[in-house]
Amino acid sequence: MEKLLSIIIPTYNMEKYLHKCLDSLIVSDENMQKLEILVINDGSKDLSSKIAHEYESKYPQTFRVIDKENGNYGSCINRGLKEATGKYIKVLDADDYFNNKIFNKFMNYLDNQDVDLVINDYQIVDEQDVVNETYSFRLPINNSFTLFDCPDSLAEWLWHHGITYRLAILREMSYKQTESISYTDDEWIFKPMKVVKSVSYFPEIVYCYLRGRVGQTFDDNVLKKSMGQKLQVAESMLEYYIEHITDQSDNFPPYLYQKLTDRISVLYNFIITKFSTDEENDRLKKLDQWIETKIPMLYRDLGEKKNRLGYSFIYNWRRKGYKRNRMSFLCYKFYSILLVLLHKGDNVPRMPIELKRDSN
Say if CB 147 and CB 118 are below 8 A apart. no
> CATH number for the 5-210 domain, one of 3.40.640.10, 1.10.1660.10, 3.40.50.620, 3.90.550.10?
3.90.550.10
Amino acid 351: pLDDT: 41
Amino acid 349: pLDDT: 35
Integer angstrom CA distances of residue 160 from 25, 71, 145, 227: 17, 20, 19, 21
What residue ranges do the domains of the chain occupy? 5-210, 220-357
**Whether pLDDT at 250 is above 90:** no
Burial class (CB in 10 A: 0-12, 13-18, 19+), 29: exposed
**Whether pLDDT at 234 is above 90:** yes
Say if CB 231 and CB 287 are below 8 A apart. yes
**Whether pLDDT at 213 is above 90:** no
Q: Which residue has better confidence, 224 or 202?
A: 202
Q: How confident is the model at residue 61 (pLDDT cuts 50, 70, 90)?
A: very high
Q: Containing H/E element for 47?
A: none
Integer angstrom CA distances of residue 44 from 13, 14, 57: 5, 8, 19
Instruction: Tell me whether the omega of the peptide bond preceding residue 352 falls within 30 degrees of 0, making it cis.
Output: yes
Query: In this predicted model, what pLDDT tens digit does every residue of 255-278 receive, in sequence order?
Result: 999 999 999 998 998 888 876 688
Q: Which residues contact 260 (CB under 8 A, 6 or more apart)?
A: 190, 237, 238, 241, 298
**Whether pLDDT at 347 is above 50:** no
**Whether pLDDT at 301 is above 60:** yes
Amino acid 358: pLDDT: 52
Query: In this predicted model, what pLDDT tens digit does every residue of 21-52 receive, in sequence order?
Result: 999 999 999 999 999 999 999 999 999 999 99
Say which range, 59-68, 187-196, 274-283, has the weakest mean pLDDT.
274-283
Query: In this predicted model, what pLDDT tens digit does every residue of 118-172 receive, in sequence order?
Result: 999 999 999 999 998 999 998 999 899 999 999 877 898 999 999 999 999 999 9
Q: How confident is the model at residue 326 (pLDDT cuts 50, 70, 90)?
A: low
Say which range, 159-168, 240-249, 282-291, has the weakest mean pLDDT.
240-249
Q: Is 158 helix (H, G, I), strand (E, B) or coil?
A: coil
Query: In this predicted model, what pLDDT tens digit does every residue of 303-319 receive, in sequence order?
Result: 998 776 677 889 989 99
